[in-house]
Amino acid sequence: MQAHAPLTREDAAAAFLPFDGTLYLDCAARAPRLRSVHAAGLAALEADAAPWMQSFDALDEQAGAVRALAARLFDGDTDAVALVPSAAFALSTAARNLPLAAGEAVLLLDGQFPSNLLPWQQRCLETGARITPVRRASGQSWTDAVLAMLDAESRVRVVALPQVRWDDGALLDLDRIAPRVHAAGAALVLDLSQSLGALPADIARWRPDFVASVGYKWLLGPRGLAWLWAAPRWRAEGVAIEQHWSTRDAGDGWRFAVDAMPPSRRGARRFDAGGLDEPLPLAMAGAGLEQVLAWGVPRIAATLGACTRALDAALDANGLSAWKTPGHAPHLTALRPPAERLDAVFDALRRERIACTRRHGLLRIAPHLHVAPDDMVRVAAVAAAAA
C-alpha cells in the first residue's frame, strides 16, 4: 500500500457526535455517527413530512448522485453500481446469475460471514454444485490457504471471498488471489463489507464479476442501503432477483404493456431493489460517502493502521504478544485472550467504557478516526490487568 500521511485526531474526531466518555471500537458492527450524517437524516426526515413537496424526478436525481459517490469507491463507473438493501441481497443476485452445474465447486472461507455463504449454499442445492471450504493449516495465511485450494480443486467455478475477515480482521491479498482465480476459469465474487471505505478497492486489477458492500460500517451511512457492483457482462445480461417498475425503461408513463416487458434501465440499474428511493437513507448515505471521500480512503487506512499497530506494540509491551491477530488489516483486528480469561477481559473493558464485540472466542477491535494510538495503549493496559 502506498504511504499516505495520516489524518490528525483533532481534525477527524470533531466530525463525529460526542461519545459521552465511551471509547467506541465497534465500527465493524455499526459506524459511529457523523455529525453530517445525523444532520442530513434530520433534514430529510423534516422534508419528508411534506410529501406533496417531493417529486419522483428529484428522488431519482438524489439516488443518481449517491450512486455516483459510491461508484468512486469502486472504479468510478456509475453505470456499474446498483442500490440494494443489504450485502446479502447483492450476493444473492450474484449467486442467481453465475452459472453452476452439478459437481462444480464454490470456494469460500470456512467461518465466512453468512451473507456470503447462505446464497451459495442455496444455489448449490438448486444446481447440484458443492461448497468447497478453505481451512488454514497452523501458521498458514488465509491467502496461502486459498491459493492451495485453487491448486487442489479442479472444478472451482466461483470463488466468493471477503477482503477482510469479519471476525478477526485477517487480510486477504486479492492482488495474489485474483489472477489465480481467473487462470482457473472461475468467477470472482467479493464481499467488501468490512473493507470498502477503509481500504482501497482495486477493481481494475481484481476483475471481479460482482462486488457487494453494506452502506454502513466503514462507509459511515445508514443500515438498509447497500451497494452491488457488476461487471460489464452482467450489466448487459444479468437477471435481477426482484422485478419492479423503476428498473425498467418504459418512457414517461407508468402503464406497462401486458404483452411486452420493457427493457431494463442502463447498466447495473437493472439490479436496483425497489423501495430505496427514500430521502432519509439516501441523504444519510450521501453524507457518509462524501466524508469518506473527503478524508480519502488511503489516508483513512494509514491513520487506522497507526492505531492497530499501537495496539500490537502495547500488547507486546504487556507480555500479551500471543493475543495479537497476525496479518490483520489496518483498521480491524481482534484480541485473542485464553478462553478462561475471555469474559474477564471483556468485562474489564466494558467497566472502563471501552466498547468492542465479543464473538467466537475473540474480542474484535474496530476503531475509526475518533480513536488515537494512545487510546489503544489504554486498551492493552486494561486487558493486561484482567489477564
Domains of the chain (ranges, CATH numbers): 9-33+296-386 (3.90.1150.10), 41-294 (3.40.640.10)
The whole-number pLDDT of residue 5 equals 66
The residue-averaged pLDDT of 358-376 equals 96
Confidence of residue 248 (pLDDT cuts 50, 70, 90): confident
The residue-averaged pLDDT of 288-295 equals 97
The whole-number pLDDT of residue 1 equals 44
Confidence of residue 261 (pLDDT cuts 50, 70, 90): confident
- Say how far apart CA 326 and CA 328 lie, in whole Å: 6
The pTM score is 0.95
Helix, strand, coil abundance in the chain, percent, nearest 5: 45, 15, 40
Total residue length of the chain: 387
What's the number of CA atoms in the CB half-sphere (13 Å) around residue 265?
Answer: 22
- Say how far apart CA 160 and CA 105 lie, in whole Å: 11
**Does the structure show a pLDDT above 80 at 275?**
yes
